[in-house]
């Protein structure tokens, strides 16, 4: 948490969201106080987003300034899980290498001007709902295929960061369940891997691959990594979009699917740990952290996005289509009007504009 002089924009039981520039807020956080930084900065995109994007030529230097501050606030065994989408070179059907250049720089020694991090693992976010752009290369000339994967760099200060893949197990496939039930004859695979009878052990779930499957269209998300919670994910995002619309707040245009922070938090932290998102946007990270019993800190420089992010914490029961929907919605509106929508409402927080 920041010192008391920095009043949070809003607070919940486990977290605080602050309005401001992370470059100014990060130095105020105590050193070695954060277990995980899970975030998605603005990318170096060809088409500018509403919240601004840095050009790919300047991106590495721009990000490195943040990375040095991340290193200070991270605990020695802490991790950074950062979603960095790729982009195209302007005017050509060729890909920019900026996110790989960034990775190399982040993992270069501090003495050589780098970030001094280790690459713990590359993760990939598969987003099947991504549009087939740039249209010129994908849908008009048909020279390229749809780009539907973001690279997600998992970085750490120690070669053995705090991590436990038991926190992200996925349900066993039917084939694996059959194998555990009916037995398996140990044998050498064509790849020469020796499959022992340990494959028959039930370890409460399968170790997931490094592909996080989730998309944004109402953020259905989460089909591979932790697919048991995909239904609740859809519901919570519906709540976010619905309440944004109702209170005339612009929803964030590039939200995380629930699956991404859920995977990162499940893998690298345990209950009670602290997660920071320094580019919080709609604060999916904080919302997921809270639901997983972790403390969270969100920094976001755009007030409008923080206003919308408050809706993620609207009380349970408002996030699913229940029979008595109207009553539930009225209840939220009343609570909102009375300032009691949240457990600890910030006096500073007031929704501007139309309120039905
Ligand atoms: C890609 S979006 C993050 C979206 C987020 N993951 C979500 O689920 O909604 C990046 C966000 O970083 C914010 N941002 C950019 N530079 C910032 C800075 N220096 N300090 C704080 N926030 C910043 C932008 O306003 C934008 O909302």
The pLDDT of residue 2 is above 80: yes
C-beta of 51 in contact with ligand 1 (< 6 A): yes
Lowest mean pLDDT among 140-154, 241-255, 270-284: 241-255
Pairing assessment for the beta strands 74-84 and 149-156 based on DSSP bridges: antiparallel
Query: At 37, is the secondary structure helix, strand, or coil?
Result: strand
The number of C-alpha atoms within 13 Å of 98 and in the hemisphere containing its C-beta is: 25
Output the pLDDT for position 193: 76
Which pair of structure tokens corresponds to residue 26?
Answer: 């990060």
The band of 213, judged by pLDDT with boundaries at 50, 70 and 90, is: confident
Active-site pick, 40, 96, 156, 291: 40
C-beta of 239 in contact with ligand 1 (< 6 A): no
**Catalytic status, residue 83:** yes
Ligand 1 centroid to 198 CA: how many Å? 45
Which of the two residues, 95 and 327, has the higher pLDDT score? 95
C-beta of 305 in contact with ligand 1 (< 6 A): yes
C-beta of 301 in contact with ligand 1 (< 6 A): yes
**Catalytic status, residue 134:** no
Averaged pLDDT for residues 180-199? 73
Active-site pick, 35, 83, 222, 273: 83
Rounded to whole angstroms, the Cα distance separating 54 from 86 reads: 13
Task: List C-alpha distances in Å: 356 to 106, 164, 339, 340, 351.
Answer: 48, 46, 15, 17, 12
Closest ligand 1 atom to Cα of 25: 20
Averaged pLDDT for residues 38-66? 81
pLDDT digits 0-9 by tens, 287-335: 999 999 999 999 999 999 998 998 888 765 444 333 233 333 445 445 5
Note the CATH number of domain 15-169+208-313. Answer: 3.40.50.150
Query: Alpha carbon 253 to chain centroid distance?
Result: 14
The pLDDT of residue 244 is above 80: yes
Tell me the backbone φ, ψ of residue 131, rounded to 5 degrees: -80, 150
Angle (nearest 5°) at CA 335 between 349 and 14: 60
Query: At 120, is the secondary structure helix, strand, or coil?
Result: strand
Percentages helix, strand, coil for the chain, rounded to the nearest 5? 35, 20, 50
Question: Who contacts 286 (Cβ-Cβ below 8 Å, separation ≥6)?
Answer: 12, 15, 17, 275, 277, 280, 296, 297, 298, 309, 312
In this structure, the residue with its CA closest to atom 24 of ligand 1 is 51
Task: List C-alpha distances in Å: 124 to 7, 102, 210, 266.
Answer: 36, 16, 6, 16
The band of 178, judged by pLDDT with boundaries at 50, 70 and 90, is: confident
Instruction: Break the chain into its structural domains and give their ranges.
Output: 15-169+208-313, 172-205
Mutate to test the pocket of ligand 1, among 281, 282, 289 (most ligand atoms within 8 A of CB): 281
The pLDDT of residue 350 is above 70: no
- The number of beta carbons lying within 10 Å of the beta carbon of residue 144 is 17
Rounded to whole angstroms, the Cα distance separating 356 from 350 reads: 14
Active-site pick, 41, 134, 208, 278: 41
């Amino acid at each position: 948490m920041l010192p008391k002089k920095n009043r949070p924009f809003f607070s919940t039981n486990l977290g605080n969201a602050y309005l401001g520039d992370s470059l100014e807020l990060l130095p105020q956080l105590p050193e070695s106080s954060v277990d995980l930084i899970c975030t998605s900065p603005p990318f170096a995109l060809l088409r500018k987003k509403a919240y601004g994007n840095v050009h790919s030529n300047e991106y590495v230097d721009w990000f490195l300034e943040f990375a040095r501050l991340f290193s200070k606030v991270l605990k020695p065994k802490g991790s950074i899980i950062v979603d960095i989408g790729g982009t195209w070179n302007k005017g050509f059907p060729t890909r920019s290498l900026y996110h790989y250049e960034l990775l190399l720089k982040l993992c270069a020694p501090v003495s050589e001007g780098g970030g001094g991090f280790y690459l713990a693992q590359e993760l990939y976010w598969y987003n099947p709902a991504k549009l087939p752009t740039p249209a010129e290369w994908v849908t008009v000339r048909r020279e390229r295929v749809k780009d539907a994967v973001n690279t997600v760099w998992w970085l750490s200060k120690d070669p053995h960061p705090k991590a436990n893949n038991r926190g992200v197990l996925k349900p066993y496939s039917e084939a694996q369940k059959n194998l555990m039930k009916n037995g398996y004859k140990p044998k050498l695979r064509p790849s020469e891997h020796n499959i022992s009878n340990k494959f028959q052990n039930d370890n409460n779930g399968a170790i997931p691959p490094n592909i996080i499957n989730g998309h944004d269209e109402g953020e259905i998300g989460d089909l591979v990594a932790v697919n048991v919670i995909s239904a609740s994910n859809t519901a919570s995002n519906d709540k976010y979009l619905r309440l944004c619309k109702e209170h005339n707040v612009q929803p964030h245009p590039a939200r995380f699917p629930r699956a991404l922070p859920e995977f990162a938090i499940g893998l690298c932290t345990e209950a009670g740990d602290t997660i920071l998102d320094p580019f919080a946007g709609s604060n999916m990270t904080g919302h997921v952290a809270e639901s997983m019993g972790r403390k969270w800190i969100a920094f976001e420089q755009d007030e409008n996005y923080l206003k919308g992010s408050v809706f993620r914490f609207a009380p349970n029961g408002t996030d699913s289509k229940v029979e008595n929907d109207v009553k539930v919605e009225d209840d939220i509106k009343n609570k909102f009007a009375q300032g009691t929508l949240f457990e600890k409402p910030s006096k500073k927080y007031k929704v501007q504009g139309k309120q039905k």
